[in-house]
Amino acid sequence: MPHPLISPLVSSILKTLNSLVLKEFGIAWGLKTDLENLGSTLSTIQAVLQDAETKRGKGEALKNWLRKLNDAAYDADNLVDEFMNEALRRRMDSERGINPQVSAFFSLRNRLIFRLKMGHKIKDMRDRLDAIAGEKNKFHLREGLVETGEVCGMQRGQTDSMVNESEIYGRTDEKEMIIEMLLNNSSDRDDDVSVYAMCGMGGLGKTTLAQLVYNDGRVKSYFELRIWVCVSVDFDVERLTRAILESIEGRGCSISNLDPLLRRLQEKLFGKRFLLVLDDVWNEYHEKWDRLKNALKCGAKGCTVIVTTRIQQVALIMATLPIHHMAHLSEDDSWSLFKRRAFGNERTEENLQLDLIGKEIVKKCKGLPLAIKALGSLMQFKRSESEWLSVKENETGICQMMEVVFYLP
Ligand SMILES: Nc1ncnc2c1ncn2[C@@H]1O[C@H](COP(=O)(O)OP(=O)(O)OP(=O)(O)O)[C@@H](O)[C@H]1O
Ligand SMILES: [Mg+2]
């Protein structure tokens, strides 16, 4: 009988380690590599765990090894939880409008202390797990295929440039401001490309705003070429170059090496005014971006790259123009979006009481479109006041739902 606890526990730790929330805060706090190393040690253990659990009845030594592993896995789980709770707490703080700049000194100090403390704890945990992993060879365990909970690149939804504008609320001023900037942006240097970054938490509407801009008539006629590429977690320069080329040429590209791909890209962009949207960027390595950016420096004046990202550091690395920090939806726009989801297009009769409760529910979403949509859809099939009241009063449920939204890959 396989042991009922360790494999699922290790899987769940790996899943949390791979979650985008943790990746985002790992990067922000400079603990990305430590967390990745912890994950890789756990993966090597996970690879033999199934076999070990099947053979647990065969000898005291293996039983002891599994016991040690069990204890370490519980501690690792608590550690990763601690990290995740801190990440979510800070996100909630920023949601509640607690401005880190108000006490910049203290927040920087706290961050450094947190980073140091967690850095030590993660390293100790890794040493402990490394020692356990080192012992596994004496049991001649078979490696098996395991679910590591990888949620990066692959499972993160691909985005495209399409948007149904009739379903979008607000953003008019932001959209106008960005379009104005695009149409009047011509860098003095011919060999340069301007990069405009939109930054904000998951579900705030970065991709949507980029879509609104991309599809605007003035933008369509100003740029000779418009290209939309969904980047996601893996900033693979070859894949991205191919994706840009395919978007320009409208067909698949069979070139297999990076150098000829980059050359072909330059040929295609040469002398043209283009708008390139790089949606959902997570890459914080300068070199990868520089490689792609160099190939883009051959267009006409006014070429612009729009980048959307959750991570401020990514925006800082890429942007050449002032970073656009996404605003939250206003109360009115939030309410319109919620109403649309909860009541559909044609609302036959107004129910004042439901409206009052609904407005209270919407306030808890703090202008986050993804959360408003999720809650609006939840209310779609509820029509009695008591059901609405119970959702409104279920603080924990709403917080959990917000957490689920944050966790979304
Ligand atoms: N202004 C808006 N009005 C109505 N719906 C919106 C608005 N902005 C975003 N949405 C909806 O909210 C959801 C999340 O938006 P979007 O994908 O643009 O967020 P994001 O900031 O790009 O998130 P992520 O960081 O996960 O990529 C989408 O379903 C989108 O249609
Ligand atoms: Mg997005």
Determine which of 19-23, 27-31, 106-110 has the lowest per-residue pLDDT on average: 106-110
Long-range contacts of 155-159 (CB under 8 A, 24+ apart): 155/409, 156/20, 156/232, 156/233, 156/280, 156/409, 157/409, 158/230, 158/232, 159/207, 159/228, 159/230, 159/279, 159/280
Gap from CA of 373 to ligand 1 centroid (Å) = 9
- pLDDT tens digit sequence for 281-292: 988 888 999 999
Give the pLDDT score at 26. Answer: 79
Using CA atoms, how far apart are residues 405 and 78, in angstroms rounded to an integer?
22
Binding-site residues, ligand 1, Cβ < 6 A:
167-171, 200, 202-208, 280, 308, 310, 329, 337, 369-370, 373
Q: For 159-325, which CATH class?
A: alpha beta
Mean pLDDT of the chain, nearest integer: 84
Atom of ligand 1 nearest to the CA of 163: 31
- Substitution candidate for ligand 1 out of 167, 207, 209, 307 with most atoms within 8 A of CB: 207
Spacing of C-alpha 147 from chain mean position? 21
- The yes-or-no verdict on residue 31 having pLDDT over 70 is yes
The protein residue with its alpha carbon nearest to ligand 1, atom 14, reads 203
pLDDT, tens only, 56-107: 777 888 888 888 998 999 999 999 888 888 877 776 666 555 544 444 444 5
CB 185 within 8 A of CB 321: yes
pLDDT at 170: 96
Give residue 101's pLDDT: 45
pTM to 2 decimal places: 0.71
Average pLDDT over residues 4-30: 79
Instruction: Write out pLDDT tens, residues 170-200.
Output: 999 999 999 999 999 876 555 578 999 999 9
Average pLDDT over residues 238-253: 92
Domain spans, the chain:
6-151, 159-325, 331-407
Confidence label for 390 from pLDDT (cuts 50, 70 and 90): confident
What is residue 284's predicted lDDT score, i.e. its pLDDT? 81
Q: Is residue 55 a contact partner of residue 139, using CB atoms and an 8 Å limit?
A: yes
